[in-house]
Amino acid sequence: MNKLESFQGYKLPNQNLHKAKDFKMKPVRTMTILTRSLQASAVGVTVLAANPSDAAIIGSKIQGGFINQPQTPLELKIVVPPPEGIIIRNTFETRDENGNIFVRPNPDPNRDVLGIIEKQSVLLPRDISVLDGFNEQKDRPNSIITKGTLVSSYLFYFNPPGGDEPRFDWSGQITFDATVLGLVGGFRVHWPHTTNVVGLDNTEYVFASAIDPRDEVISFENNVLTFDVSSKSGLEPFRVITSGNPVIPSVPEPLTLLGTGTALGFIPLFKRAYSKKNKAKGKD
């Protein structure tokens, strides 16, 4: 068994920071089984020994709930150790013997936002293409982070209800100690373009799913990322690339550490296999 425990943000040792006052996260303790490759949800905050860094997630303020129902506070959970494989495909959707698609329920009732800490403070060997926001008008790369820029990378995703439940909506903010430089996500991005540079070493990445600009809006200003994402069966992954030079002298707020098994054992990964279904809010 692997114990989940609260963690004071994602920060390397020997950093003299001061407490951020605007973001409060409730510590959580629970138990989970540890497994190996990532076939589901969650990845934890830890120091990546191969990629030492000063970058940090300072805190978050997140709420969520089923569409047209009251929302409740949620947390950002980061899984440790990083997984050996990040296989992002929609295995909630299944076909019956007649070829009809149905959505299996997610056995994990937790709806917290999940994250993977990727490479930190890496010097870009080439230009990379990113988005400067995500919505119906911005669904393909429209900005460049230039060669030689020092960057850090984070991959976020969600834990949808599946089954006959209505769509679930997540909204909130994630605050970093460095400026956000761009996003990667959606049907029109080529994931290996950035994964080959900022993705975890010795880790298999398979992305056959995407956030949908008809339903999701993500934006950022300075070091604060704001999002509104909804899903019934998809994990809605997106990557955030920040500067590798921390500029915010604040103590990270508590994040929850998840063992890789938690991330892997609950739900089969991420969604839609590039199916572009219409997803009207309030129904699926």
3-state secondary structure 217-247: EEEEECCEEEEEEEECCCCCCEEEEEECCCC
Q: Is the pLDDT of residue 7 over 60?
A: no
Q: Is the pLDDT of residue 51 over 80?
A: no
Q: How confident is the prediction for the chain on average, in pLDDT?
A: 74
226 inside domain? yes
- Looking at residue 102, its pLDDT comes to 79
Q: What are phi and psi of 117, to 5 degrees?
A: -85, 115
pTM above 0.75, yes or no: no
118 inside domain? yes
The number of angstroms, rounded, from the C-alpha of 198 to the middle of its chain's C-alpha atoms is 14
- Which 3 state secondary structure label does DSSP give 194? helix
Instruction: Dig out the tokens for 248 from the structure.
Output: 């915010």
- Looking at residue 164, its pLDDT comes to 83
Residue range(s) defining the domain that contains residue 127: 2-11+35-272
- Looking at residue 174, its pLDDT comes to 97
92 inside domain? yes
Which stretch of DSSP H or E encloses residue 169? strand 168-176
- Looking at residue 197, its pLDDT comes to 97
Average pLDDT rounded to a whole number, residues 45-52:
30
137 inside domain? yes
- Looking at residue 135, its pLDDT comes to 96
Q: Is the pLDDT of residue 277 over 50?
A: no
- Looking at residue 104, its pLDDT comes to 84
- Looking at residue 259, its pLDDT comes to 62
87 inside domain? yes
In 136-265, alpha helices (H): 191-198, 260-265
- Which 3 state secondary structure label does DSSP give 254? strand
Answer with the residue of higher pLDDT: 89 or 32: 89
132 inside domain? yes
28 inside domain? no
Q: Is the pLDDT of residue 76 over 70?
A: yes
Q: How many domains does the chain have?
A: 1
115-155 tens-digit pLDDT: 999 999 999 999 999 999 999 999 999 999 999 999 999 99
20 inside domain? no
